[in-house]
Structure 1
Amino acid sequence: MEAFKERVTHGYIYKGNIPAYPRPEFHVSHLKHDTNQDGLRGIRKDNGFKSPGKGSLLWWSLVVGPDEITLAEKRLLETTYPDRTEEQAQTQQSFLGKFATSQAFKKSSRQGSYRFTFPLEEVLQAFGDQVCFGAQPVMRVFRTELHKTEVMYTVLVHSPTVEHLFSDLPLLSDDPNSVCSYKDGLFIWRSEAMCEEHRYKLVQKHDEKQMEAEEVSFHKYYVWDHVGVALHVDEHVLEFDADRLRENLKFCHRAKPAINGSSFEQFDQAQEVVKELWPDCPSPLEKAE
């Protein structure tokens, strides 16, 4: 993961005058794929996912919700204060959620009104069976993209049959200092920039062995980071059962800002589209939580 480390140290992540903030470790067991109506229709037609256009990569993102935030907060406290008492642990107030303000933690979508959410292991199993011909997928550090307010780290997943195409990229390791790693069926993301807008600063009370979020007078905007997962599917369709696709589909509201060119719909319209595509499914379309 050296590539991830090197490219975020040139005045990007470590800017001065930013209030102190936590750097927790999120253990992620699910991936999400957001799309618009055209993409949804294509997925239903193919009974699966494929790379758009003439590309070879299928893109997913990490799912980091309230449960992942709660567990990350617990890990951060236990790591920072391993000798805290039971009373100190019980009186500790939740604080990490106040820092989770970037798009990486929101229910809204920047790419369309439809979200498929799958267990990570199910995606990797399908990829291994269908693209790797039963072999174990290979994971590599792909690239780091720096934008005005966003840093995206990308993990590449590919078949060992195309090893020659990516042998120059470092393998994804379980280095505890890396931004992202894979271990025991989970992606481990060590976020370096949770906040889209810094409204709080982290206060560590060493005597009480506790942490808290203290509101700051002047809110600061800076960059936020997240992890993308690119599956090298080439011309393959990553297939899933039609009922499984519908089971894992939910509606998303539009994020602000959305990605240029993305199209969105109102919930009522989305319900009709999904009903048309899965006419035998009695369950109503739900909103992403």
Structure 2
Amino acid sequence: MEIVYNRRNSREHFVRSRHLRLNGLKEEAKAAGLESDYLFKPNIPESPRPEFVLSHVKHDTDADGLCGISEDNGFKDPMKETSSEFRLLWWSLSVGPDEIKSAERRLLEKTYPDQKEEQLQMQQGFLEKFTTSPAFLKTSRLGSYRFTFPLEELLEAYSKQFCSGAPPVMRVFKTVLYKQEVNYVVLVHSPDQDQFSDYPLLNDNPDTVCTYRDGCFIWRPEAMSGTHRYELIVGPDQMEAQKWYDYEHYVWDNVSIALHVEDKVLNFDASRLRENLKFCSEGYPALRGVTFEDFPTAEKLVNKLWPGHPSPLEKDE
């Protein structure tokens, strides 16, 4: 397990070239002599193991980042990330209520394959009690401005601008452990780059944390709550979220998509950037060095950067 400090001067413990499940991450942390109040916490209540199929990604930023994106008509790595030797553009998976409902339905169908439609519908609504970590919230820890793009649109633009029209290559980059967050990073790069050959290709093994299939990322999280307040009860014909007698703080996991961009810009039409932009409220805990605006201030800035746009700035809520 390696240790670096990122651009926000936050310490990262990470393992290269692997997406480690929590048990494997615990073994690596123990071998490195790492102490973690969250990762090693015992007696965590049982939680679901759903599979999310996600077709959108998001990029959160602050006012300075927004101004740079407007000026460049696109996204770039504004500074070399001190925790990586590569120039990377970071996105994360976008998970909304519809994706949570779909994941819950698939989990029920897998667990109770013989149940009828009315039986499945009667027990829906338990998964949302577990999806409470920052990975599932509408709030942001990285700034007041959120760009949300269809994954296929993002990859198509990357293919045309960085891969000469060829499909991008996806690899298992690393597993990063912060104080409470576990981040699984997928590296995306052009086929003509051989400097990443030591990183394994992203595969479609059903045991993997994250994979890519049919224009979507498939994510199988193990820790969705951060603060656990419910326990999953799996009966012979029903799943339910039972109130836990206490609450337990634990790690929560997340997936990041890192596009290799060197010093170039991933360009989009200015109107398309504005269409995919929303305001989001400050999440907890905010990251060090990140500033947030209230909605009127954000609205003024967006109107200044994209004058004449017919639609008002919306809130992501």
**TM-score bracket relative to the smaller structure:** over 0.9
Question: Judging changes above 3 Å, is the alpha-carbon distance between structure 1 residues 271 and 248 closer, same or farther for their aligned structure 2 residues?
Answer: same
Q: Which moved more, 1:83-92 or 1:193-202?
A: 83-92
Q: Which residue of 1 is the match for residue 188 of structure 2?
A: 157
Q: Do 2:142 and 2:290's aligned partners in 1 also have CA atoms closer than 8 Å?
A: yes
Could you tell me how far apart the structure 2 residues matched to 1:280 and 1:253 are?
25
Q: Do 1:2 and 1:178's aligned partners in 2 also have CA atoms closer than 8 Å?
A: no
Q: Which residue of 2 is the match for residue 251 of structure 1?
A: 279
Does the alignment pair 1:276 with 2:304? yes
How many pairs are equivalent?
286
Residue from 195, 201, 221 that aligns with 1:191: 221
Residue from 125, 132, 135 that aligns with 1:101: 132
Q: Do 1:108 and 1:254's aligned partners in 2 also have CA atoms closer than 8 Å?
A: yes
Residue from 25, 31, 38 that aligns with 1:8: 25
Q: Equivalences for 1:84-123 in 2 at 5 Å? A: 84-123=115-154
Residue from 47, 54, 59 that aligns with 2:80: 54
Q: Do 1:139 and 1:171's aligned partners in 2 also have CA atoms closer than 8 Å?
A: yes
| SS of residue paired to 2:233 | strand
| SS of residue paired to 1:157 | strand
RMSD over equivalenced CA pairs, Å: 1.6
| SS of residue paired to 1:160 | coil
Q: Do 1:32 and 1:118's aligned partners in 2 also have CA atoms closer than 8 Å?
A: yes
| SS of residue paired to 2:300 | helix
Could you tell me how far apart the structure 2 residues matched to 1:189 and 1:282 are?
36
Could you tell me how far apart the structure 2 residues matched to 1:87 and 1:232 are?
47
Q: Which residue of 2 is the match for residue 212 of structure 1?
A: 240
Amino acid at match of 2:211: S
Q: Do 2:17 and 2:174's aligned partners in 1 also have CA atoms closer than 8 Å?
A: no
Could you list the per-position Cα deviations for residues 225-250 of structure 1 after superposition, in whole angstroms to 9, with x for gaps in the alignment? 00000000112210000000000000
| SS of residue paired to 2:284 | coil
Could you tell me how far apart the structure 1 residues matched to 2:77 and 2:95 are?
24
Deviation at 1:86, TM superposition (A): 3.4
Deviation at 1:147, TM superposition (A): 1.5
Identity, % of aligned positions: 60
Q: Do 2:202 and 2:211's aligned partners in 1 also have CA atoms closer than 8 Å?
A: yes
Could you tell me how far apart the structure 1 residues matched to 2:243 and 2:19 are?
31
Structure 2 unmatched ranges of 5 or more: 1-15, 31-37, 82-86
Q: Which residue of 2 is the match for residue 285 of structure 1?
A: 313
Q: Do 1:156 and 1:230's aligned partners in 2 also have CA atoms closer than 8 Å?
A: yes
Q: Do 1:60 and 1:229's aligned partners in 2 also have CA atoms closer than 8 Å?
A: yes
Could you tell me how far apart the structure 2 residues matched to 1:83 and 1:9 are?
37
Question: Judging changes above 3 Å, is the alpha-carbon distance between structure 1 residues 274 and 237 closer, same or farther for their aligned structure 2 residues?
Answer: same
TM-score (norm 1): 0.95
Give the 4+ runs in structure 1 shifted more than 6 A: none
Amino acid at match of 1:146: L
Does the alignment pair 1:23 with 2:53? no
Q: Do 1:13 and 1:193's aligned partners in 2 also have CA atoms closer than 8 Å?
A: no
Could you tell me how far apart the structure 2 residues matched to 1:180 and 1:261 are?
29
Q: Which residue of 1 is the match for residue 8 of structure 2?
A: none
Q: Do 2:53 and 2:217's aligned partners in 1 also have CA atoms closer than 8 Å?
A: yes
Does the alignment pair 1:228 with 2:243? no
Deviation at 1:14, TM superposition (A): 7.4
Could you tell me how far apart the structure 2 residues matched to 1:17 and 1:72 are?
25
TM-score (norm 2): 0.87
Structure 1 unmatched ranges of 5 or more: none
Q: Which residue of 1 is the match for residue 6 of structure 2?
A: none
Could you tell me how far apart the structure 2 residues matched to 1:190 and 1:253 are?
27
| SS of residue paired to 1:276 | helix
